[in-house]
A = this chain, B = another copy of it.
Amino acid sequence: MSDRLTLADLNARDAAGFVDALSGLFEHSPWIPERVAGQRPFDSLTALHAAMTAAVEAAGEEGQLALLRNHPDLAGRAAVAGELTEASSGEQASAGLDSLSEDEMARFQELNGRYRERFGFPFIKAVRGADKARILAAFEGRVDTPWHRELATALHEVGKIAWLRLLSTVEPAPTGKLTTHVLDTAGGCPAARLPLALWYLDADDGATRVGDFVTNDDGRLAGPALQGADVRPGLYQWVFEAGVYFARAGHTTTATPFLDRIPLSFGISNPEAHYHVPLLLSPWSISIYRGS
């Protein structure tokens, strides 16, 4: 991602240059960056994205429907004919939609047809990182929802697509961090001296060990596990060595412990945000959640 613009670059451009840089974010809809160019400078991708989302909201139903109708069908005629925008083409391929079986293709066409007839716009979903099962499940879940709810959902998906494209285009502000905290719910105390590792999971199922940590007396790490430019969007995995903690704390476990080494996967969508991902732990139960 070394060829991304910086926020400073983007803020320094003239309006045409700003719009040009962001013209691919919303399918065939340069009017969206146009309407927010005057709000610069943006100090984060988060703020820039929020401004563009507000512009879409302010465009009213007519403008929103036009935006939606600029999108191609998933696995649709345009995809087959090679007529997608470059961004759309790559996204659809990453989800495996360029290699559907004949039956799968037929299922997509049938759903595309029902959906378009019911709603008057194509089915839209941010598919990077998804797979056929997730896309079909979304299709089946959404094809029968009330029209107004579905319009809101479709616009939300458009916003997610724009977010992913924005992350490929501009460097995020270095404000993000990842932290954790481990609490022992059987003992009612912090889980001190618990070793853990952090892994980054690549799209191709590879995994990179990002760091090794040990909790302090308060059950926290000495500092963020990740911060600033090191916070990349994507999939991560904590591996908590709960068995080491249980052994030191004197918690009774069975011959093969119910919980011992605990891998827990989570995703970071916004690299500018603080992800606090704590663990509540007993020898027989775990909870993990996004904290603050």
Q: Which residues of B contact A245 (CB under 8 A)?
A: 137
Task: Using A190-B292, A255-B269 as known contacts, say yes or no to A282 and B185 having CB atoms under 8 A apart.
Answer: yes
Q: Is A244 an interface residue (CB 8 A)?
A: yes
Decide yes or no: A248 and B288 within 8 Å by CB, A148-B152, A258-B188 being known contacts.
no
Across the two chains, which residue of chain B brings its CB closest to A289?
B285
Interface residue total, chain A, C-beta cutoff 8 A? 82
CA distance A147 to B189 in the complex (A): 23
Interface hits, A144-166 → B, CB 8 Å: 145-149, 151-153, 155-156, 160-161, 163-164
Mark interface residues in A263-290 (1 if CB within 8 Å of B CB, else 0). 1111111100000000010111111111
Q: Interface segment, A30-38, A72-80, A126-134?
A: A126-134
- Counted per complex, copies of this chain come to 4
Residues of chain B contacted by A195 (CB below 8 angstroms): 133
**In the assembled complex, A22 has its CB within 8 A of some CB on chain B:** no
A247 touches B141 (CB 8 A): yes
Give the distance in Å from the alpha carbon of A128 to the alpha carbon of B289 in the complex. 32
- Residues on the B chain within 8 Å of A265, using CB: 259-263
Determine if B289 and A185 form an interchain contact, defined as CB atoms under 8 angstroms apart. yes
Find the B residue at minimum CB distance from A153.
Answer: B250
| Closest residue on chain B to residue A133 by CB atoms | B244
- Greatest chain B CB density within 10 A among A248, A249, A292 is at A292
- Whether B268 pairs with A256 at a CB distance below 8 angstroms is yes
Report yes or no: B141 in contact with A248, Cβ–Cβ below 8 A: yes
Q: How far is the CA of A290 from the CA of B188 in the complex (A)?
A: 6
Given known contacts A248-B138, A259-B267, is B288 in contact with A286 (CB within 8 Å)?
yes
- B292 to A61, Cβ gap below 8 A? no
CA distance A178 to B219 in the complex (A): 18
In the bound complex, what is the Cα–Cα distance between A193 and B141 (angstroms)? 11
Across the A-B interface, the 4 shortest Cβ-Cβ residue pairs: A188-B284, A285-B289, A254-B269, A138-B247
